[in-house]
Structure 1
Amino acid sequence: MEKLSLSVNTLLFFVLAFAGLYFAAPFLIPLTLAAVLSMVFIRLCSFFEHQGMSRGYASLICILIFLIAMALVVLLLSIQLSSLSENLDGMEKRIVSMLESLKSWINETVGIRKSEQQKAIEDGTKGKSGGMILAFAAGLMGVLVNTILVLVYMFLFLSMRGHIKKFILKLLPKKENADASLVIHQTGKVSQKYLSGLAAMIAILWVMYGIGFSIVGVESAIFFAVLCGLLEIVPFIGNLTGTGLTVLAVMAQGGDGKMVFGVLVTYFIVQFIQTYILEPIIVGEQVNINPLFTIMAIVLGEVVWGVAGMILAVPLLGMAKIICDSYPHLQPYGFLIGPENPKKPQTTIVDYIKKIFSKQ
């Protein structure tokens, strides 16, 4: 009876926690994103500190490296986007032609005349253009503000990480400090390895998609390769979205069925290589979660925090599993989240390189 009561209380806690996450999303999203990203730079920050640099300057350099990396990606996208814009007139004509064909098909199949369809479209968009522009401007301003907040939070997390760790340890009895310190280290390690492996994976996907789309003959192939790689940040859904956008762009560019088929073949080949070759080597079993709860976490993350929730869902669930595995009354939940047949952590390419340098 006592165990049942404890389980009910735990489930109630989770329900209240998710409700709090939903209503506090504007505050928590940049804070959580900064916390997860700062974990990636802890080792680099520690390296600079061991070279005699103060923690504040080391943290600042890590933020600058992050900004440079993001700026390079944006620059690459903007260069490719400028080449894509040269073909916008032709794409616009083809899209208009496709819409006219669609209207004709609806007229012949359903019996709705083209004039009635056009009137319905105009009625649906009347008076909304100004609102859409204002909404876009407000959204852009929100992104800029949140970006600045994330950078500030990252700097503070990196420079105050020792203070935050001591605070967490002070919340627990001294006899549990050693175990708690190990849990903190393991949760940070999960985020580090997952995100660093994901970054390496995205870079390789850029190359593979770029080669595949170029062979197929997609215009601005590098742009769509970078887009498909970046969308890999959102598991399962991102790669499908990127490929779908590429197929639509190929159709708008006037590509035939062979080109669309080539894009789909490229997608399946890249996914095969990614799933069965690259992921075991580069990422390994860092986030030991079964597929059911991975998908559930992504869907729930989107409901609670939108796109940011989808991006953060997997690393946060991986950290939650480590916490559950470390405390007896939460271990059943850790078992439920984990894989049906647990595997020993595989040696990733990063671990292999570390072993080589450690032997020297």
Structure 2
Amino acid sequence: MQNPRLFKALAIVALILLIVVALIFGKPFLVPLTFAALLSMLLLPVARWLEGKGVNKALSTLAAITLLLVFVAIVFFFVGWQMSDIASNTSKLQQTATEKYEQLKDFVSEKLGVSPQKQDQLIKEQQKSSSGKVSGMATSLMSGITGFLTDTLLVFVYIYLFMYLRTRLKGFIIRLVPLTDRGNAMTILNDTQQVTVKYLSGLFLMIVCLWVMYGIGFSLLGVKSAIFFAILCGLLEIVPFVGNLTGTALTIAMSLVQGGDMNMVIGILLVYGFVQFIQTYLLEPLIVGAEVSINPLFTIVGLVAGEMIWGIPGMILAIPLLGITKIVFEHIEPLKPFAYLIGSEDKKEDKGFLNKIKSWFGKGQ
């Protein structure tokens, strides 16, 4: 080969393409495995604490998984409770939705010159063209629910096995590297696990804080089923940029359907802006930390790539996986420039303010 640099570049491109192809075709297998790996790292401190109290590994692992199941059950309970409240007012919602629909038709007729009769005709034609797809959508929905339940069961099985066999899995990874590099490999594994736990636990605490703030804000505004929309907005925060906008848009849409006016819409937007300010400048720096901070460019690139490769699960996993990749790159000398590329700059102007807040909490200890 006359040009070794060109050959190396082509080899890297080919390797990236092979990895992408493997990720796409391996989605049914890799998505539950990845979720389980991240959640097992989150639950590992709980299992270790119980083992330090004399509980054997099997029982401590089951106890940690039970804790996760209890949390999920509580969230589903509150969501189901609020959804049942929404369902009990279905007739009133239908009446309000019909009124809003008629108002929208009048607005389109007045501003765009399309008569209500023409609008009804266009909608009927659209319904006829899509009527044959209803059965297909129902079949896809049922298969999707079945697949979700199967993947959920697999995730919990994988979590148990990852945690129970963690020593053997760690030993296997260490044995893959030469003796001279095993110290660095141990450092990478430990740092990755610690940073992942800090990020996921911080994300969990941040979501709880968002539930409280959204719940208080929506309740004060008089939003019906405020707890449901607070939980929804908080959970959707696991997808940066897209999640918070989607949650707010759904809250506004349902508030209008439930009879809300423009004052309520403005109030929801103000609550959203206030919560985002608190999240960006207080919660994320203080609770989540900067160890896995990714700059906005690669955050968006990661979200787009994750959606293209794994769909919605890919968007949820994109930021944690990018953060882990950044940690690994920081410990391998040839890859440090890439860690710098995808990382974010520390906001020096915020450090004094944040340290002052941290000192307030430290004084009471």
Structure 1: segments with no counterpart, 5+ residues: none
Residue 140 of structure 1 corresponds to which residue in structure 2? 145
Aligned partner of residue 255 in structure 1, secondary structure: coil
Q: Is 2:152 aligned against 1:150?
A: no
Q: Among residues 100, 103, 125, which one is paired with 2:102 in the alignment?
A: 100
Return the letter of the residue paired with 2:70: I
Bigger drift between 332-341 and 241-250 goes to: 332-341
CA positional deviation for 1:7? 4.9
Distance 2:114 2:272 in 1: 35
CA positional deviation for 1:113? 1.3
Q: Among residues 28, 31, 34, which one is paired with 1:29 in the alignment?
A: 31
Structure 2 counterparts to residues 1-360 of structure 1, below 5 A = 5-107=7-109, 109-110=113-114, 113-340=118-345
Bigger drift between 52-61 and 111-120 goes to: 111-120
Q: Is the 8 A contact 1:297 1:317 kept in 2?
A: yes
Distance 1:208 1:329 in 2: 44
Q: Is the 8 A contact 2:62 2:160 kept in 1?
A: yes
CA positional deviation for 1:356? 10
Distance 1:297 1:287 in 2: 13
Q: Is the 8 A contact 1:183 1:323 kept in 2?
A: yes
- 1:133-163 CA-to-partner distances (Å, cap 9, x unmatched) read 2221111111100000000000000001110
- 1:8-32 CA-to-partner distances (Å, cap 9, x unmatched) read 5334322321221111111100001
Return the letter of the residue paired with 1:148: L
CA positional deviation for 1:6? 4.1
CA positional deviation for 1:107? 5.0
Distance 1:327 1:6 in 2: 19
Q: Is the 8 A contact 2:24 2:310 kept in 1?
A: yes
Q: Is the 8 A contact 1:289 1:337 kept in 2?
A: yes
Bigger drift between 275-284 and 104-113 goes to: 104-113
Return the letter of the residue paired with 2:315: M
CA positional deviation for 1:49? 1.4
Q: Is the 8 A contact 1:40 1:195 kept in 2?
A: yes
**Aligned-residue identity in percent:** 43
Q: Is the 8 A contact 1:40 1:192 kept in 2?
A: yes
Structure 2: segments with no counterpart, 5+ residues: none
Distance 2:68 2:251 in 1: 28
- 1:315-352 CA-to-partner distances (Å, cap 9, x unmatched) read 11111111112222222222211224587xx899xx99
CA positional deviation for 1:195? 0.8
Bigger drift between 107-116 and 140-149 goes to: 107-116
CA positional deviation for 1:2? 5.4
Aligned partner of residue 102 in structure 2, secondary structure: helix
- 1:194-238 CA-to-partner distances (Å, cap 9, x unmatched) read 110010001111110011111111011111111111111111111
CA positional deviation for 1:3? 6.0
- 1:38-67 CA-to-partner distances (Å, cap 9, x unmatched) read 010111111111222221221111111111
Q: Is the 8 A contact 1:193 1:283 kept in 2?
A: yes
Distance 2:329 2:119 in 1: 60
Could you say if the C-alpha distance between residues 356 and 143 of structure 1 is closer, same or farther in structure 2, counting changes exceeding 3 Å? farther
CA positional deviation for 1:115? 4.3
Bigger drift between 164-173 and 94-103 goes to: 94-103
Distance 1:31 1:329 in 2: 29
Q: Is the 8 A contact 1:322 1:334 kept in 2?
A: yes
Return the letter of the residue paired with 2:313: A
TM-score, L = length of structure 1: 0.91
Q: Is the 8 A contact 2:236 2:247 kept in 1?
A: yes
Q: Is the 8 A contact 2:33 2:155 kept in 1?
A: yes
TM-score, L = length of structure 2: 0.90
CA positional deviation for 1:240? 0.6
CA positional deviation for 1:170? 0.7
- 1:174-196 CA-to-partner distances (Å, cap 9, x unmatched) read 12111100101111122111110
